[in-house]
């Protein structure tokens, strides 16, 4: 759990929070009950039958902060299970750069059992320079022709969609996809549809987020921006947001924009334009995952909402809260999701069919809040919110722009 220096004005209120956290039982993930937890034997490290190490590859549609964070948490989970020796990751220079994390693992991860293959990192650029189909065919070519990869990490919706097919049979774990069912990566929570596929899914995650946001802020009109495509509606979890809006009598105000079919710079500008329009029409905005939500562009993207004192909630998680969004679900350094993925990986490498393993995972209900943003939008968080908060930020961190920013 991250530690943050608290403002003196809220220190006394948060002492109660600390006591409550010390007395409370540790959060339990949906997969952690006795019936669903795999046995230790099912996760015990082992080499391939020929005595060599399992070779792991990685595929992402483009840079995104969740991807390297999920990757590092998964590796830590593997360390805890004994598949890797302990290692310390270097300081983060670009929180969206999974390629650098992979290069570090390929060189520094010590294991008798697994290998992060240096030249098996496949990273797109969200269609900006290299067409998505080109990267997809490169990955499929490696898996079907060279056939030297034993397990693929498919990070995010694009990668999951591109490997959720019968064009290959390499065991594939889909990680950090917003809505694998809505994106048609898998047909249901309980069945991936393909023997070699497993996709982590939390079927009520976004409903819980919107309910929590409404419980805290009490808005009557909620703004949502999305691209009006199958993938765009999936990223925005539009069905879930609509369901909660109907359930609670909230007026849903939407704005559609090109967010995926354009470069990330244009996507951010299109997103800001929608925020300009929504600022005068809503009481709050649910910020969904899309190519316009680049960390270094958040000051520009959020400026119309902050100026109008509109509270915001990040669908993606607490990294965006750290960089200027008011609220989200705290992710405890992605620890729980990393443990879940590590258990799945261990079972697959020991011979389990990915399709036979659980896909359902629910994150523990913790809150992330940025007190500086609260000040900007005029929100005075009550004591019970601070008591429930697992991550409290008092400043807005501005991320540096990558060299390739457009």
Parallel, antiparallel or unpaired: strands 251-256 and 221-226? parallel
CB contact at 8 A, 390 and 330: yes
pLDDT of residue 171: 98
- Is 405 a domain residue? no
At CA 327, angle to CA 326 and CA 332, rounded to 5?
A: 130
Same domain, 46 and 68: yes
The count of domains in the chain is: 2
In a domain, 286, yes or no: yes
Q: 255 and 192 in one domain?
A: no
* Stated pTM of the model: 0.77
Domain co-membership, 91 together with 214 = no
Positive or negative, the CA dihedral 359, 364, 370, 375 is positive
Question: Is the same domain home to 55 and 125?
Answer: yes
User: Is there a single domain that holds both residue 261 and residue 294?
Assistant: yes
What does the pLDDT read at residue 2? 36
Claim to verify: residue 128 and residue 15 sit in the same structural domain:
no
Residues 150 and 41 in one domain: yes
User: Sheet containing 284-287: which strands, arranged edge to edge?
Assistant: 251-256, 221-226, 284-287, 312-314, 327-329, 367-370, 389-393
Place of tokens 């220079």: 93
Residue 37 is part of a domain; what is its CATH number? 3.40.50.2300
Residue 43, in any domain of the structure: yes
- pLDDT of the chain along its 406 residues, tens only? 333 333 434 433 443 333 233 333 333 344 444 345 677 778 999 999 999 999 999 999 999 888 999 999 999 999 999 999 999 999 988 888 999 999 999 999 999 999 999 999 999 888 778 899 999 999 999 999 999 999 999 999 999 999 999 999 999 999 999 889 988 999 999 999 999 999 999 989 999 999 999 999 999 999 999 999 988 888 899 999 999 999 999 999 999 999 988 888 999 999 999 999 999 999 999 999 898 999 999 999 999 999 999 999 999 889 899 999 999 988 776 888 999 999 999 999 999 999 999 999 987 778 999 999 999 999 999 998 998 899 999 999 998 887 665 5
Same-domain pairing of 220 and 280: yes
**pLDDT at 52 (0 to 100):** 98
Q: Quick check: is 2 in a domain?
A: no
> Does residue 406 form part of some domain?
no
Amino acid 19: pLDDT: 29
Residue 187 domain flag: yes
Task: Return the axis-axis angle of helices 335-349 and 66-81, rounded to nearest 10°.
Answer: 60
Q: How far apart are CA 53 and CA 124, in angstroms?
A: 27
One domain for residues 216 and 104? no
- Tell whether 18 and 87 lie within a shared domain: no
Whether 298 and 336 share a structural domain: no
- Do 196 and 212 fall into the same domain? no
CA dist 228 → 103, 199, 270 (Å):
36, 24, 13
Q: For residue 3, is it within any domain? A: no
Which residue range forms the structural domain that includes residue 70?
30-202+332-356
> Could you identify the residue written with the tokens 């992060």?
116
Residues with Cβ within 8 Å of residue 247, at least 6 apart in sequence:
none
């Amino acid at each position: 759990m991250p530690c943050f220096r608290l403002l003196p004005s809220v220190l006394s209120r948060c002492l109660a929070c600390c006591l409550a956290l010390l007395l409370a039982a540790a959060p339990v993930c949906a997969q952690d009950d006795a019936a669903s937890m795999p046995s230790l034997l099912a996760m015990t490290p082992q080499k391939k039958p020929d005595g060599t190490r399992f070779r792991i590859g990685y595929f992402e549609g483009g840079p995104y902060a969740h991807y390297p964070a999920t990757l590092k948490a998964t590796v830590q989970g593997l360390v805890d299970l004994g598949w890797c020796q302990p290692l310390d990751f270097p300081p983060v220079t670009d929180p969206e750069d999974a390629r650098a994390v992979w290069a570090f693992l390929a060189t520094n991860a010590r294991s008798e059992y697994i290998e992060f293959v240096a030249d098996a990192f496949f990273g797109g650029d969200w269609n900006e320079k290299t067409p998505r189909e080109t990267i997809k065919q490169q990955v499929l070519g490696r898996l079907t022709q060279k056939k030297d990869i034993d397990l693929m990490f498919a990070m995010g919706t694009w990668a999951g969609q591109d490997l959720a097919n019968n064009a290959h049979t390499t065991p594939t774990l889909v990680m950090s996809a917003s809505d694998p069912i809505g994106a048609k990566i898998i047909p249901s929570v309980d069945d991936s549809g393909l023997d070699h596929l497993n996709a982590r899914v939390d079927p009520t995650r976004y409903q819980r987020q919107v309910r929590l946001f409404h419980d805290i802020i009490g808005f009557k009109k909620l703004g949502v921006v999305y691209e009006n495509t199958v993938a765009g509606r999936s990223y925005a979890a539009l069905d879930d947001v609509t369901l909660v809006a109907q359930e609670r009598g909230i007026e849903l105000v939407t704005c559609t924009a090109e967010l995926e079919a354009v470069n990330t710079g244009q996507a951010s500008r299109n997103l800001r334009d929608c925020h300009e329009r929504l600022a005068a029409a809503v009481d709050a905005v649910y910020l969904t995952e899309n190519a316009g939500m680049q960390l270094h562009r958040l000051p520009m993207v959020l400026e119309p909402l902050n100026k109008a004192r509109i509270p915001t909630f990040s669908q993606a998680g607490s990294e965006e809260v750290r960089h200027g969004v008011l609220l989200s679900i705290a992710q405890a350094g992605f620890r729980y999701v990393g443990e879940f993925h590590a258990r799945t990986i261990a079972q697959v490498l020991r011979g389990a069919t990915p399709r036979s393993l659980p896909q359902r995972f629910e994150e523990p209900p913790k809150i992330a809040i940025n007190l500086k943003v609260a000040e900007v939008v005029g929100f005075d968080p009550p004591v019970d919110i601070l008591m429930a908060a697992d991550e409290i930020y008092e400043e807005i961190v501005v991320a540096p722009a990558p060299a390739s920013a457009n």
